Amino acid sequence: MFATPLGRKQLSRIPTPYCAQAEEFLEQTRLCCAHLAPETKTIIRKLTTGAYTHYQFTGVPITKRMPPTPETYPPPEHSPTYQAEGIIGCIAQSLGRMFGYRENCQHLIYDIYPVRGYEQSSSFINSRKMLGFHSDGSAHTKLIPDYTLLFCIRSDPNSINLIADVKNIVKQLPKWVMDELFEPNFLHMVSQNPPRTIRKPILSHEDGELSIAYDDETVSGTDARSKNALELLNQASEQTASPIKNHPNSLLVLNNKRCLHARTAFTPKYNGEDRWIKGTYVSCTPIKNGTILTLDP
């Protein structure tokens, strides 16, 4: 059981998060946190204490049929129900404070589905190309998410999430690579247009724990040693990753600083039945709940 009967009833009446001020959505979903089932609360505790670096809730109770998967971006904001968004908001606020990136989406919850013309792009709306190992928001100048939440509305059998725990990755690395990844010898692309990078390490210690900020597509080395270190990091990520299939009505929670994630390639159908994920970000820092961040000018 995911939520108590009262919690399920409340979760079926969640207002839209797709508005300028999502305060009502945040308030209603926050109230649902108390009505999650004890087993759901236990898993959230294991995520917050670090006992789990990721977890997939399956069989989440969604009773209303969702509309066809959109094909163009941004998606239409009208939906007969906000059940999936309610679950996302409730779990997100059990972990910390919800936030979004203006560059991604103007709302707290963003959509991931294949978009025609972007099949081979590096963006999360690609499909025929593998989405490489990364942590979300890894180059953002203000805030990197502590958790990433991915709710699956529709899946594709060929689209598999690959999750690599940083503790397992570093066990595969020679000491010189570990040392190099702690040095500020890497260029992280903050934005493509205008082109902007920041120079910083990939590994760090945060609250006494090993933390990773990396994106295979947008991080580059500055010399031969750092470039070699990246190659070995990518190899170790592939070797240690666990596959996790998306299932309809499942919610994947990732500790975004303790693991990297990737997604295998798949073929889009553009028939309303394509893979469709709704995502959000969570921070454990004292930001205002519901903040939509912009990059520094």
Using CB under 5 A, pick the residue from 85, 111, 136, 165 that binds Fe ion.
136
**Shortest Cβ distance from residue 261 to Fe ion (Å)?**
6
Binding residues among 46-85 for Fe ion as defined by CB under 5 A: none
8 vs 263, beta carbon nearer Fe ion? 263
- Are 211 and 138 within 8 A, CB to CB? no
Q: Which CB, 111 or 136, lies closer to Fe ion?
A: 136
The window from 8-16, 17-25, 135-143, 251-259 that contacts Fe ion (CB under 5 A) reads 135-143
- Identify the burial level of 236 via C-beta atoms within 10 angstroms of its C-beta, where 0-12 means exposed, 13-18 middle and 19 or more buried: buried
Distance CA(59)–CA(56), nearest Å, equals 10
How many Cα neighbours within 13 Å face the side chain of 190? 15
CB of 203 to Fe ion, least distance (A): 19
Number of shown-chain residues binding Fe ion (CB under 5 A):
1
Residue closer to Fe ion, measured from CB, 136 or 165: 136
By CB under 5 A, residue 146 contacts Fe ion: no
State the Cα torsion 45-105-58-115 to the nearest 10°.
-150
Helix (H) or strand (E) holding 229: helix 224-240
Nearer to Fe ion, 10 or 56 (CB): 56
The interface region with Fe ion, picked from 98-106, 129-137, 186-194, 242-250 by CB under 5 A, is 129-137
| Closer residue to Fe ion (CB): 136 or 180 | 136
Nearer to Fe ion among residue 7 and residue 145 (C-beta): 145
Q: Which residues contact 200 (CB under 8 A, 6 or more apart)?
A: 184, 186, 188, 213
Q: How far is the CB of 221 from Fe ion (least distance, A)?
A: 22
CB of 113 to Fe ion, least distance (A): 14
Scanning 24-32, 81-89, 108-116, 133-141 for contacts with Fe ion by CB under 5 A, the matching segment is: 133-141
Question: In angstroms, what is the minimal distance from the CB of 23 to Fe ion?
Answer: 27
97-101/291-293 β-pairing: parallel
Minimum gap (Å) between residue 124 Cβ and Fe ion: 6
The values of phi and psi at residue 23, to 5°, are -65, -40
Rounded CA separation 235/161 (Å) = 17
With beta carbons less than 8 A apart as the criterion, state whether 268 and 127 touch. yes
Whole-angstrom distance, CA of residue 165 vs CA of residue 283: 19
Applying CB under 5 A, the span of 132-140, 181-189, 198-206, 220-228 interacting with Fe ion comes to: 132-140
| Binding site residues, Fe ion, CB under 5 A | 136
